[in-house]
Structure 1
Amino acid sequence: MIVKELKTALFEQCFQVVEKRHQKIKQTISDIEESLLEETSSSAGDKHETGRAMLQIDRENAGRQLLEVENLQALVKKIDIRATSDYARLGSLIYTNQGAYFIGISIGAVAIGKTTYMCVALHSPIGNQLSGKKKGDVFLFNNLEYTVTQVS
């Protein structure tokens, strides 16, 4: 598989993960709002007020999660997989003696063909180490020596 196809496949994986999270959170918010409406039409009393308060807390938490996933969506939109560079940056595919990495968002391991790629965020610990590296650069991470063999 050529580099362009690999980067496209890895980008699509990142995009799909974020979209699934977004849809799940929106569904959760919808379910909570529906429960709030049902709670409003039920009988009054302490149990009723406690139920409403718990649902309000759940809705606030889901709202925060929605904001986080919307920030991830914005980050994914900034990934330019067509750009080429001799140094590692957002959207880069980096091969090292310890593994292959795609700098996008942190979704973990993605297998494509016989190779497993680690999709990492630029500001994750390994992303910080990879950022700005060029072919031949060496760095230590978790007491392992990494040598960059290719940046695409």
Structure 2
Amino acid sequence: MNHQEIKLELFTKCKQWIANRRNKVETVIADIMESLEDETKSSAGDKHETGRAMLQIDREQAGEQLKEIGKIEDALSKIDLKIKSQYVRLGSVVHTSTNRFFISVSAGEIKIEGRPYYAIALASPMGQLLLSKKKGDVIRFRESDITITSVY
């Protein structure tokens, strides 16, 4: 695979990761809504009211997760895979003396051709250290010196 194909594969896997998270949260919300309807049909009383309140709290938390997923989707949509830069920026693939990173969203480890890449957000500690660096630059992370060996 060439650099552009690797970048496209990483981008695609990040999109899939986000879609899976969205589907899980939407399923949770649907289940909560169904439970709320069942609670409405059941008899009144303190136990009933407590059950409804707990479900409402769960629904609000799931709604917050959905908002967060929307922000992650927005961040990923800002990546232009056609832009080539010698400097680390959003959408860069960075090889270092220790790991390979895709500067995008915090999706964790993604394997491409059996090799691990770490999808990290630009706002993450490592993302901030790598930002605007180029091949040959050295960063210090957790008391270790890490050399950037390529950026694409």
Q: In the aligned structure 1, how far is the partner of 2:146 from the partner of 2:116? A: 17
Q: In the aligned structure 2, how far is the partner of 1:111 from the partner of 1:63? A: 31
User: Percent of counterpart pairs with the same letter?
Assistant: 48
Q: Which residue is equivalent to 1:129?
A: 129
- Superposed CA deviations along residues 52-99 of structure 1, whole A, max 9, x for unmatched, are 000000001001001001111111111112210110011001111112
Q: In the aligned structure 2, how far is the partner of 1:82 from the partner of 1:48? A: 56
Q: In the aligned structure 1, how far is the partner of 2:114 from the partner of 2:28? A: 37
Q: In the aligned structure 2, how far is the partner of 1:47 from the partner of 1:114? A: 53
Q: Which runs of 5+ in 1 are unaligned?
A: none
1:115 Cα deviation from its structure 2 partner: 2.0
**Which aligned pairs between 1:39-118 and structure 2 lie closer than 5 A?**
39-118=39-118
Give the structure-1-normalised TM-score: 0.97
Write the letter of the residue equivalent to 2:123: H
Q: Secondary structure at the match of 2:150?
A: strand
Q: Secondary structure at the match of 1:135?
A: coil
Q: Which runs of 5+ in 2 are unaligned?
A: none
Q: What RMSD over aligned residues (CA atoms) do the two structures have, in Å?
A: 0.9
Q: Which residue is equivalent to 2:22?
A: 22
The verdict on how the C-alpha distance between 1:58 and 1:114 changes in structure 2, with shifts beyond 3 A counting, is closer
Q: In the aligned structure 2, how far is the partner of 1:100 from the partner of 1:68? A: 26
Q: Secondary structure at the match of 1:83?
A: coil
- Superposed CA deviations along residues 18-60 of structure 1, whole A, max 9, x for unmatched, are 0011111111111111111110111000110000000000001
1:114 Cα deviation from its structure 2 partner: 3.7
Q: How many residues align?
A: 152
